[in-house]
Amino acid sequence: MLTPRVPEDSLLPFCGLGGPCPEVIPIIIPKSVNYGSAEFSLRSLGVCKNSRNTTARSAALVACLALVVAIAIFPSAPATRADGNARPSNGVASPATPKKVIIDTDPGTDDALAILLALNSPELDVRALTVVPGNVTAQQGLENALKLASLTNRCDIPVAGGAQHPLFQKLITAELWHGANGLANVELPPSKCKADPRFGPDLIIQMIHESPHEITLVPVGPLTNIALALLKDPSIVPLVKEVVIMGGSISGGNVNAAAEANIYNDPEAAQIVFHAGWRLTMVGLDVGDKTLYDQAHLDQLSKTHGPENDFAVKVLTFLLGQEAKYGAGGGSPMYDPLAVGTAIDPSIVSTQPMHVDVESRGEFTRGETVANRRNAVERNVLHGDHYIIEGIDRVDPNVQVCTGVNAEKFLQLLNSRLAGK
Ligand code: BDR
Ligand code: CA
């Protein structure tokens, strides 16, 4: 049994780290987290009191207080505009200077493919795999990540467990989509690799400080670990090269009409990560839906062999079966691999800067990424008994939102990197 270590000094009061989780999803919203001005506000405490039962209320209150305390005691970091960081103008990092990445993952079928893609791409130097609960529990996810490191003979890469639950709600796992073990029910051999004893968010913080301005974070699960790292040490913000997430959507969800799974599984964490002030690229569901891996791609990959190649074929066969059963047809979307593909070659996607917030209170829209395509809001001023629009206020973009993808180029990249491995 693998039990991820949770250090005692790591914000333990958070429900996400093993404390009591509210019975109902509480309405606890970090309204704005602006590290630059050290001005933090939560619509929290008053709202926490609205939780529907005493247990929920006290757990929610503890969580709220923990967040307030955590934010208050950590020093503020200078804000950096999301579109202000340097990016190599030629798009693809040269294999001679591979991009250092940390993949934060909830493996997961497409997570597994994303990890295999990353580990077989000379453009990337995978420094760590940190595990977050999402598709599967934290424990199963750590076991899966270790098996993948073992399959690829990469026990040199630290694989660390992290949060045990989302920040403010109970975990929702997705074995329905990913198989009982999260890896398409494919039984990999026991891992030769051992779990790193460090706590995932702490490892992220440490690595960023060891390689300032060099680390690209690639979170492909709920954003709990990344939010915890930010809350614990906001000074990492300007030291991170870029964050490329798989999550969100600007046109509908997969959990329900509005929300994408990674954001839905921890909306408060997502809002913290989206507003940290670093360069963040959102590789959302709606672009992932255009990268359909179909039978022809599978036939192509099935012609070559190797332990990773053969494992990928089994996972992809499972995914095509799931699509036939539940999907819209046309193939299986390669969500997490596309985020890694974007880190490998940003020219695969097109992006637009937008101001994005994460909805956390909507009855039907909790977890929706609400994107302002005009980066402007009306200014309504109260005059007597009604408001009058007096002007337009600009809102700064905080996210590079992917709006297009060269799907076939990406799918060929994926197949070519897995073939024969
Ligand atoms: C995301 O949710 C998970 O099920 C996948 O691994 C992916 O990260 C897609 O919504
Ligand atoms: Ca995932």
Measure the CA dihedral 228/229/231/233, to 10°. 160
Q: How far apart are CA 134 and CA 102, in angstroms?
A: 17
Q: How confident is the model at residue 51 (pLDDT cuts 50, 70, 90)?
A: very low
User: What residues form DSSP beta bridges with 40?
Assistant: 33
Q: What is the pLDDT of residue 327?
A: 84
- CA 336 to ligand 2 centroid distance, Å: 6
- CA 99 to ligand 1 centroid distance, Å: 23
Q: Residue 160: which residues within 8 A CB-CB, separation 6 or more? A: 4, 128, 129, 130, 131, 195, 196, 197, 198, 199, 200, 203
- What's the pLDDT tens digit per position in 54-104? 333 333 333 443 444 343 333 233 233 233 223 333 334 455 799 999 999
Q: What per-residue string of b and e applies to 42-60 under the rule 16 or more CB within 10 Å gives b?
A: bbbeebbeebeeeebbebb
Ligand 1: residue whose CA is nearest its atom 4 = 135
Is the beta carbon of 262 within 6 A of some atom in ligand 1? yes
- On whether the pTM is more than 0.75, the answer is yes
Burial of 202 (0-12, 13-18, 19+ CB in 10 A): buried
- CA 220 to ligand 1 centroid distance, Å: 7
Q: Residue 416: which residues within 8 A CB-CB, separation 6 or more? A: none
pLDDT, mean of residues 218-237: 98
pLDDT, mean of residues 33-44: 29
Q: How confident is the model at residue 42 (pLDDT cuts 50, 70, 90)?
A: very low
Q: How far apart are CA 50 and CA 52, in angstroms?
A: 6
Q: Are 163 and 228 in contact (CB under 8 A)?
A: yes
Q: How far apart are CA 116 and CA 107, in angstroms?
A: 12
- CA 77 to ligand 1 centroid distance, Å: 30
Is the beta carbon of 108 within 6 A of some atom in ligand 1? yes
- What's the pLDDT tens digit per position in 287-310? 999 999 999 999 999 999 999 999
In order of start, what are the domains of the chain with their CATH numbers? 2-73 (no CATH), 99-291+327-351+400-418 (3.90.245.10)
Q: How far apart are CA 161 and CA 17, in angstroms?
A: 11
Q: What is the pLDDT of residue 11?
A: 41
Between β-strands 369-372 and 349-358, what pairing exists: parallel, antiparallel or unpaired?
A: antiparallel
Q: What is the pLDDT of residue 24?
A: 35
Residue 22 has pLDDT above 90, yes or no: no
Task: Find the helix packing angle between 109-119 and 307-326, rounded to 10°.
Answer: 150
Please give the residue that has the higher pLDDT: either 29 or 183.
183
314, 307, 239: which is closest to 278 by C-alpha? 239
Is the beta carbon of 27 within 6 A of some atom in ligand 1? no
The fraction of the chain above a pLDDT of 90, given in percent, is 76
pLDDT, mean of residues 24-53: 31
Q: How confident is the model at residue 15 (pLDDT cuts 50, 70, 90)?
A: low
User: Which residue among 135, 140, 148, 282 has the greatest number of ligand 1 atoms within 8 angstroms of its CB, and so is best to mutate?
Assistant: 135
Q: Which two tokens stand for residue 69?
A: 């305390």
